[in-house]
Copies of this chain bind each other. A is one copy, B any other.
Amino acid sequence: MKTICTVKAMAAWSAAHQREGVTIGLVPTMGALHAGHRALIRAARLSCDAVVVSLFVNPIQFGPTEDLSRYPRQLKADVALCKKEGVDVLFVPSASQIYPGGFQTMVIVPGIARRWEGARRPGHFAGVATVVTKLFAMVRPTAAFFGQKDFQQSALVKRLAEELNLGAKVIVYPTVREADGLAMSSRNVYLSKKQRTAAPALFQALQAGRAAIRTGVRSGAAIQKTMHAVVKREKMATVDYLAVCDPDTLQPLSRIRDRAVLLGAIRLGNVRLIDNLLVTC
């Protein structure tokens, strides 16, 4: 496995391999790799000639009061996982490589970013859109792999890759879960033992919403109510939002026609969890 630390070397590696007709799969990560990332790497491995994993804790997607400084970092374990999974290139740039002094260009996707995570985390999605555009431009992947857990993020990435003609296929891979349903996330390490026990409430709420849809409920409000009731049973949890949305636009649906995404965010003390379920009627 090759480790690359500069933008120039990354772009040169990609250009050289593209000239050879090599298809490149990119798995963009912020490190602290878990089974969800591993599934993305394996999906990339299966469909592309070469796999690039980027590991960059992107400062501009964190708000001033968010967890940038304490975001889990475990480079050694990440390197070991990538090696074991047959990753070809681990791209680990510094912040000043990605954002040299005076950096000002931003990519925005205002419609998709407006609600949910975007409303609660101002600037977050502009930070995501900008770093993804840069990574796609320098790596020029044939396909890039994202986890469904960050549903709004993957909808945004799909949209910007199409709209900016970045030429990369965006593959959204199903959420990998713990045995009790909790979605894998690097941030799960923030949970105390007690909070960890309460954490599956979010997935349970989404499942209850899906069950309601399967029994024929179509009203967004009714499904929301069902989901809220499940989280309410868990004393430690407070709902940030539980929503029934169009999977492409992320706009709330008052009535489901054929497809919906159930989006949820809850708080357990200082820890915030998100999750989602895609439902087809």
Contact = CB atoms under 8 A, between A and B. Distances in A.
B11 A165 contact: yes
Nearest to A110: B104
Copies in the complex: 2
Contact of A133 (B104, B164, B167, B249): B164
Nearest to A159: B105
B105 A105 contact: no
A105 B129 contact: yes
Contacts of A21: 19
Nearest to A130: B164
Contacts of A160: 105
21 contacts: A15-B167, A18-B18, A18-B19, A102-B111, A104-B109, A104-B110, A105-B108, A105-B160, A105-B163, A105-B164, A106-B108, A107-B107, A107-B108, A107-B133, A130-B164, A133-B164, A134-B163, A134-B164, A137-B137, A137-B164, A138-B165
Given A133-B133, A137-B164, 16 more contacts: A15-B167, A100-B163, A102-B111, A104-B112, A105-B160, A105-B163, A105-B164, A106-B107, A106-B110, A107-B107, A107-B108, A107-B164, A108-B108, A134-B165, A137-B167, A138-B167
